[in-house]
Amino acid sequence: MGMVGGGPAAFIGDVHRMAAALDGQIELVCGAFSSDPEKSKEKGHSLFLPNERIYASFQEMIQTEAELPEDIRMDFVAIVTPNHLHFEPAKLAIQYGFDVVSDKPLCHNLTEAEELANLVESSDRIFCLTHNYTGYPMTRQARAMIKNGELGSIRKVVVEYPQGWLSTLLEAEGQKQADWRTNPAKAGKAGSMGDIGTHAENLASYITGLEIEELSADLSTFVTGRKLDDDGSVLLRFKGGAKGLLFASQICVGEENNLKIRVYGEKASLEWQQQEPNSLRILYPDKPSETLRTGHAYLHPEAKSATRLPSGHPEGYIEAFANIYRDFAFACQQRNSSEEFIQNFPGIREGLQGMKFIEAVVKSSSMNASWVKP
């Protein structure tokens, strides 16, 4: 793995590195960790990389690595930068024949996303988007149950992602994570909807298999002086007739990362919450509800394959993230050995879908919550 971004004081870069290393399938061999060459060197040295594999720019890294012998050069690029710096390194990596893992959302805007999607789909490269909540055992259990018809026809989907960390003008205090996430030049058209609303949209799509047909959105900016939305509610109409509600907010005082989804079917319903990820609650019309737990024999194979520890041992954020990296590594190995590979992780299609969601939400809100087709 070669990494773009993830320099000093970067949160998500450390998460990617830990997750990628967890199964022993991936080794960090090089990086361009910052647009500041000195900071890139500082981070690279802290990770014990040799000087010649610490680069001043992603262009230098990709071009130089491509010229190295196959058994030495990196196999793929992990992009862990702010949103506006996803497109160019991903595009260059694909053009030079490298696979890509990128943090979400896919790009800074829909035009970039469509160009990148066309490039990936016309290549033989594997592209992974780290919507890490799809890596939890119980979200995979929920997906399998719905796919197998255990809930019957889906009628209603309610997904929410409240946070409270941006309830004040934190970006004015120089806080790095707040600064870029609230800056349109770096984050894109949407604030909370682009940052965490895309996670909610992706999780609803992943678990239910449903596609949004149209939506009605109401975005707000509650904190005076903020340039992007920090709160939003979206009504959803899915293809096939199901209805939904999505809200994402970063001004809910006291909330941490309380991503939650409820899916109501004809025969049963389910509920999953990221802050208690080892439990999946199933509700029935004619018998008591039950709570499924990770690590048990009664789970579907999809959940078992994502479970790392015996029942009763907490599994969480890093492990779910690692499942995405592990599945990506296996797909690359299968492709390289000429086997038909299984893409059990979000890819370019899901990334493009997320960008269309952002575009539609912003458009709808600007039209007084008019219904818009993504």
Average pLDDT on 191-205 reads 97
Q: Report whether pLDDT(68) > 90.
A: yes
What is the CATH number for 213? 3.30.360.10
pLDDT score for 36: 96
pLDDT score for 247: 97
Q: Other C-beta atoms within 10 Å of 298: how many?
A: 9
Is 62 part of a structural domain of the chain?
yes
Average pLDDT on 138-150 reads 98
Q: What is the pLDDT confidence band of residue 168, given thresholds at 50, 70 and 90?
A: very high
Q: Report whether pLDDT(152) > 90.
A: yes
Residue linked to tokens 């208690």: 276
pLDDT score for 352: 97
Average pLDDT on 265-284 reads 97
pLDDT score for 338: 85
Is 320 part of a structural domain of the chain?
no
pLDDT score for 342: 84
pLDDT score for 340: 83
Residues 192 and 252 in one domain: yes
Q: Report whether pLDDT(224) > 90.
A: yes
Residues 233 and 262 in one domain: yes
Q: Report whether pLDDT(332) > 90.
A: yes
CA distance 259 to 349: 22
* Residue at a domain's end among 125, 148, 175: 125
What's the chain's average pLDDT? 97
The one-letter amino acid at 363: K
CA distance 27 to 8: 20
Residues 296 and 157 in one domain: yes
CA distance 181 to 299: 38
Average pLDDT on 39-58 reads 97
Residues 147 and 287 in one domain: yes
Average pLDDT on 233-260 reads 98
Average pLDDT on 283-307 reads 96
* Residue at a domain's end among 96, 125, 154: 125
Residues 238 and 121 in one domain: no
Residues 8 and 60 in one domain: yes
- The total number of structural domains in the chain stands at 2
Q: Could you say which DSSP state residue 344 is in?
A: -
What is the CATH number for 87? 3.40.50.720
Is 34 part of a structural domain of the chain?
yes
Task: Report helix, strand or coil for 46.
Answer: helix
Average pLDDT on 324-352 reads 93
pLDDT score for 169: 98
Residues 255 and 289 in one domain: yes
The one-letter amino acid at 8: P
* Tens-digit pLDDT profile for residues 2-39: 999 999 988 999 999 999 999 999 999 999 999 999 99
The whole-model pTM stands at: 0.95
Whole-number Cα distances in Å, 364 to 189, 223, 247: 13, 21, 14
Instruction: Write down how long the chain is.
Output: 374
Is 340 part of a structural domain of the chain?
no
Average pLDDT on 174-179 reads 93
Looking at the chain, the whole-number percentage of residues with pLDDT higher than 90 is: 95
Q: Report whether pLDDT(195) > 90.
A: yes
Residues 104 and 23 in one domain: yes
Please give the backbone phi and psi of residue 373, each rounded to the nearest 5 degrees, phi first: -95, 125
Residues 116 and 194 in one domain: no
Is 337 part of a structural domain of the chain?
no
Q: Residue 39 sits in which domain range? A: 2-125
Average pLDDT on 104-127 reads 97
Q: 290, exposed or middle or buried, with CB in 10 Å at 0-12, 13-18, 19+?
A: exposed
CA distance 171 to 3: 26
Residues 17 and 111 in one domain: yes
pLDDT score for 315: 87
